[in-house]
Structure 1
Amino acid sequence: MLAALHTLRDTAGVTSLPLDIPGVERARRGQREMLAQLDDYIIPRVSSLDAPLLAVVGGSTGAGKSTLVNSVVGETVTRSGVLRPTTRGSTLIHNPADARWFTGTRVLPGLARQTGTTAPANDPDTLRLVSCNAVPVGIALLDAPDIDSVVSANRDLARQLLSAADLWIFVTTASRYADAVPWELLHQAIGRGTSVAVVLNRVPMDAMQEVRADLAGMLMEQGLGQSPVFAIAETSLSRDGLLPVTEMGRVRSWLRSLASDAHARGLVIRRTLDGALDSLAARTAELRAAHEAQVRGAGDLTGQAAAAYDRAVGGVQEGMRDGSLLRGEVLARWQEFVGTGELLRQLDAGVGRMRDRVTAFISGRGKAQPADDLGHALQTGVAALLQAHAESAAIAVSRGWRNTPGGAPLVDAHRELASVSPDFTQKAEKLVRSWQDDVLQMVREEAGGKRATARFLAFGVNGIAVMLMLLVFSATAGLSGAEIGIAGGSAILAQRLLEAVFGDQAVRTLSARARTRLLELTTELYDGERQRFDDVLDEAVGGQDGLGSGALDAAVSAIEQAR
């Protein structure tokens, strides 16, 4: 049983819920409460069933919890106050013979220990231990902070202490026994099988029967009909601030009989422990569902980033087909390179004549405008195309994450994600240069023994390479009007000139290879940009999706088998 409980505790402890998706706060609170009860109560109790019964005295602010505890033991061992919250820390009162059970970290290991009645009791992170002979051996009383304290740390500690109790002594008053907050915790106690006793404090004598009957009916409706109920009449306190002995007789007698009767004490402990163990399956199921929601949420965010950059690659691919790169500077440099206007009028005269005219044109110009000018224009255009689609993808993912559960905090914490990485421009330019080098190599490999031919020499390796690059962007789907005639005609001319050197099939193969290579490099570049989003998400989720919800189910199954 202990091994199975430790496995569940470890597994639940490493199940992270980092994304702010709907319902996550409730799931995180449930996870914290389950881990706290495993640490503070279930594991310690299973490991030492014969330890003293721990009765936690809890209730609303001003209900008289500390006064009740002091009156039970007959001396002031815990301080009550006037200012709210009245109880700010926690005090555990035990018989000296039971000190060994509480001085260590067997229960409530997260709280530091202080000893003595004079030690301050206003630190939520400290448990003050008071040894008192008036407390019978076998039972300990713990005065908890107010369950409805205005201080959140006190409320959290009160809930934690109640989860660590074998028995919850719920203290309320005749005027506040129907308040919502106490009944919320009573419902929690019912769900977890915690044994409960109720002390109804400050009851006017003339309303005693009516109030007791009403409270008993409420307890019956909520499944707590077997819980002991003690009513204390409204009365004056003694000079020491204690309730009259006559009013405390029934409570004291009940606690002493519980402490002296090992069988009765064992029944209370077993009932509460069984209830806590029974609750683990449902609580673990909630944690598993929350974990799976986190995995789905992380998957949604990852999918958005992947889809956006896939669209960016598609945008570049479309930009390669629609002829848009053949506008402006590229078109001007192409015309300067080959004298497009004249050559287009001679298309019908045959490729041989075109080659002669191009050769004459280049020779006549003295190569004043070399192929490098056209290559540089293409490089600038392709780099701009890559930049535009990368920027659009970054904006799209950031906007999508902001509108997706769990994504907004990540984008707010990493505002740099909304734009391309700082060195993207340099990377894009380097990519294009690398692609141009690849195209040059393709031309050299394809030329083989043709390098010495007149047709090859007429253009040179660089000239043929830039024409091949131009052909990669040869479709005219994005152009209209006169642009089709000019840009489209330029591409046709480049194709015919290349076919004169290599043949039509070789040109188609070269063009496809060059286009594929550019898309490969683009995909690698955009993968790097998308990785920024993946890294932010991985840092947030901490790899929790690798745990798998099956580990939680297996841990609960092991506990059930051990029982």
Structure 2
Amino acid sequence: MSAPSLVGEARGFSPLLREVREALDSLAFPLELPGSNEARESAAAARAQLTDYILPRLASLDAPLVAVVGGSTGAGKSTLVNALVGRPVSVTGAVRPTTRQPLLLHHPDDGAWFDDARVLPTLSRVRLAADDRADDRADDRADDTADAAAIGSPLPGAPAALHQAAGPDTLLLRPTSSLPPGLALLDAPDVDSIADENRRLAGQLLAAADLWIFVTTANRYADAVPWKLLAEAGRRDVLVAVVLDRVPAGVEEEIRGDLLTLLSAENLGHAPIFVVPEVTLGPSRMLPADAVEPITRWLQALAADADGRRDIARRTVSGAMRALAGRIDAIADAADQEQSAADALQAAMEGAYADALADVLAATEDGKLLRGEVLARWQDFVGTGEFMRSLETRIGRARDRVTAFFTGRPAPAATVAEAIGSGLQTVIVEQAARADETTRRRWRADPAGRVLLQDVPVWDADAVSAEVAREIREWQQDILLLVQAEGADKRFTARMLSFGVNGVAVALMVVVFASTGGLTGGEIGIAGASAVAGQKLLEAVFGDDAVRRLAATARKNLYQRVEALLRRDREPYRQCLRPLGLQTSAEALTVLASRLRTALPAEPTADEA
């Protein structure tokens, strides 16, 4: 795909690249898995390159090329930049790091390209004075003092305002007529700086480069850290030039041959190698002009060829997008691993609380809640003699005798309701505590879960118990309202009033919990009789069909309330996993990477490279 056609395709790329950026923005990788930290860094780097380079470059392929001068600590990057410009513009010295803020040098005619946020939009900008006043040495020295302060060297008399404005994420812009139009030099911090922020910034700048001038030395050209970045440059099809600095006499060919072998292994065998001999720097710490003359001519040739510049920009941005697709695939793999780990943690939590819900519901259906206090209060309420014998006759006579029984010996239904509520509360709280402990035990057994547990508050038994008690009271109130609504018909009003609304509601609660499962011995007979008593009482008021419907409604209401209680109880665990549910899925990332590859031109052949 030619440069003009890529320009034409830029609009077509934009929607896809926006999707890619949104997908990357959503990624959090909240778990602590072996590859999570690397995935976070990779996603951040992909976002930065998309914002700092790919989108701006696609929007303006005719903009000047940005050549980033990068390399290891002490390789002589700033010294090289000064030599290429022809005067001291970048601080050099033995104290590390020397380059704290990136300095972008460009021809004065190209200033408009860099004043806006086209290049590295995430960095703030400070524009420095131009260096075109070579005849006025006093002004030049004042400019150098101000510039040195801005890039981190606190020289005496430096303007404090400029020094404060140039923070670690500040791009310093300086016009210089010694550079040709169409090409800018960007002096970057060390790729292996002792300062974490400098290393991060160096990587960000290199990812935004159209071409990379890699500066190394005769005794450090095989260092591991810069070669990781060189390998990335090879994958991105970035134009790389290698400056082999401080080469002793007599070993140039030997070192050049070994370096070329290393470059070829990283798909960079076509990279030009420039050798700078070992020389003694004078007081100005400037290299002699003839030492960098081959590099100067090469850069001038690139700048003079407009078509060549566009071709370099085209190939670099296409390579960046191709590398981005590969990076997204790797990020998708990490997202898939994290999702699998999160699914396992969620399944452990969901399973524990599902078991708790099942156990609560089983306790409400097997008659166990009619044990002890509940059974005693119910028997006090309905009696065991006359009331039970009355149930042996037909419903009409049973209703008459029950009515007489309640009229003659009233017993408060509230005590039965309280006993039922207390028993139910105990069951729910115990199961909630068990679910919480089971979840914690399972999460502690997982490294990622162990870290997430730090954000889960300690289970508060008192708070849970109070919430459960409130929910039970509301359930019992719902039953009372249910009974009142069912008895609103004139046919049922008299019957219900004769039994008492509270008494009918309590009878419905007993029927909800009535069963002989789980009971033994004499309990079966007593509980069974109690259940029959409640059933007959309700049938005497409402009839068979209504009783079944009322009991089903009350059970469903109870189920929903218990489920809601346990759902709220497990919410702290769900919140820990929530970021994973909001981020782009691994499958969606893989699809985006595939679409990006499909939209790109074919990779260059070896001859084209």
- Deviation of 1:76 after TM superposition, in Å, equals 1.0
1:206, 1:110 → 2: CA distance?
46
- Deviation of 1:14 after TM superposition, in Å, equals 2.5
Task: Among all aligned residue pairs of Structure 1 and Structure 2, give the percentage whose two residues are the same amino acid.
Answer: 42
1:75-154 to 2 correspondences below 5 Å: 75-114=87-126, 115-116=128-129, 117=144, 118-119=146-147, 120-122=150-152, 123-154=167-198
Q: Is contact 1:17-1:24 (8 Å) kept?
A: no
* 2:18 aligned with 1:10: yes
Instruction: Name the structure 2 match of 1:380.
Output: 422
2:202 is aligned with what amino acid?
A: A
- Deviation of 1:39 after TM superposition, in Å, equals 2.7
Matching residue within 403, 415, 435 for 2:478:
435
Q: SS of the counterpart of 1:320?
A: helix
- Gap change, CA 1:263 and 1:494, over 3 Å in 2: closer
1:17 is aligned with what amino acid?
A: L
1:70 is aligned with what amino acid?
A: N
- Gap change, CA 1:344 and 1:75, over 3 Å in 2: same
2:92 is aligned with what amino acid?
A: S
Q: Is contact 2:321-2:596 (8 Å) kept?
A: no
Deviations 1:511-548 (A, max 9, x none): 34433343244445555556676567557865767996
* 2:554 aligned with 1:514: yes
Q: SS of the counterpart of 1:205?
A: coil
- Deviation of 1:503 after TM superposition, in Å, equals 6.2
Moved more, 146-155 or 504-513: 504-513
Q: SS of the counterpart of 2:191?
A: coil
1:125-524 to 2 correspondences below 5 Å: 125-287=169-331, 307-340=351-384, 342=385, 366-367=409-410, 369-394=411-436, 396=438, 411-415=453-457, 424-425=467-468, 427-441=470-484, 444=487, 449=491, 452=494, 459-495=499-535, 507-524=547-564
1:34-53 to 2 correspondences below 5 Å: 34-53=46-65
Q: SS of the counterpart of 2:172?
A: strand
Aligned residue-pair number: 557
Instruction: Name the structure 2 match of 1:29.
Output: 41
2:479 is aligned with what amino acid?
A: Q
Deviations 1:139-176 (A, max 9, x none): 22111100011211111110111111111111111221
1:436 is aligned with what amino acid?
A: I
2:448, 2:27 → 1: CA distance?
10
* 2:68 aligned with 1:56: yes
1:226, 1:562 → 2: CA distance?
19
2:61, 2:544 → 1: CA distance?
89
1:475 is aligned with what amino acid?
A: S
- Deviation of 1:295 after TM superposition, in Å, equals 6.6
1:557, 1:217 → 2: CA distance?
30
- Gap change, CA 1:552 and 1:325, over 3 Å in 2: same
- Gap change, CA 1:160 and 1:510, over 3 Å in 2: closer
1:34 is aligned with what amino acid?
A: A
2:598, 2:502 → 1: CA distance?
72
Q: Is contact 2:333-2:586 (8 Å) kept?
A: no
TM-score by length of 1: 0.84
- Gap change, CA 1:291 and 1:8, over 3 Å in 2: farther
Q: Is contact 1:309-1:390 (8 Å) kept?
A: yes
Moved more, 168-177 or 111-120: 111-120
- Deviation of 1:109 after TM superposition, in Å, equals 1.7
Moved more, 73-82 or 246-255: 246-255
- Deviation of 1:330 after TM superposition, in Å, equals 1.0
- Gap change, CA 1:386 and 1:486, over 3 Å in 2: same
Deviations 1:430-456 (A, max 9, x none): 3222333145237626x9636656xx7
2:263, 2:429 → 1: CA distance?
69
- Deviation of 1:377 after TM superposition, in Å, equals 1.9
2:239, 2:256 → 1: CA distance?
19
1:179, 1:392 → 2: CA distance?
56
Gaps of 5+ in 2: 1-8, 130-143, 153-166, 604-609
Q: SS of the counterpart of 1:14?
A: helix
Q: Is contact 2:188-2:205 (8 Å) kept?
A: yes
- Deviation of 1:315 after TM superposition, in Å, equals 2.5
Deviations 1:441-477 (A, max 9, x none): 37626x9636656xx7774443333223212211232
Q: Is contact 1:81-1:87 (8 Å) kept?
A: no
- Deviation of 1:233 after TM superposition, in Å, equals 2.6
Q: Is contact 1:95-1:140 (8 Å) kept?
A: yes
- Deviation of 1:335 after TM superposition, in Å, equals 2.3
1:399, 1:343 → 2: CA distance?
54
2:102, 2:211 → 1: CA distance?
16
- Gap change, CA 1:357 and 1:400, over 3 Å in 2: same
Q: SS of the counterpart of 1:255?
A: helix
- Gap change, CA 1:93 and 1:510, over 3 Å in 2: closer
- Gap change, CA 1:107 and 1:195, over 3 Å in 2: same
Moved more, 238-247 or 420-429: 420-429
Q: Is contact 2:52-2:208 (8 Å) kept?
A: yes
Moved more, 237-246 or 314-323: 237-246
1:26 is aligned with what amino acid?
A: E
Q: Is contact 1:18-1:541 (8 Å) kept?
A: no
The root-mean-square deviation of aligned C-alpha atoms, in Å, is: 3.9
1:52, 1:450 → 2: CA distance?
91
Q: SS of the counterpart of 2:116?
A: coil
Q: Is contact 1:442-1:510 (8 Å) kept?
A: no
1:385, 1:514 → 2: CA distance?
18
1:503, 1:267 → 2: CA distance?
89
2:328, 2:452 → 1: CA distance?
27
- Gap change, CA 1:132 and 1:451, over 3 Å in 2: closer
Q: Is contact 1:53-1:140 (8 Å) kept?
A: yes
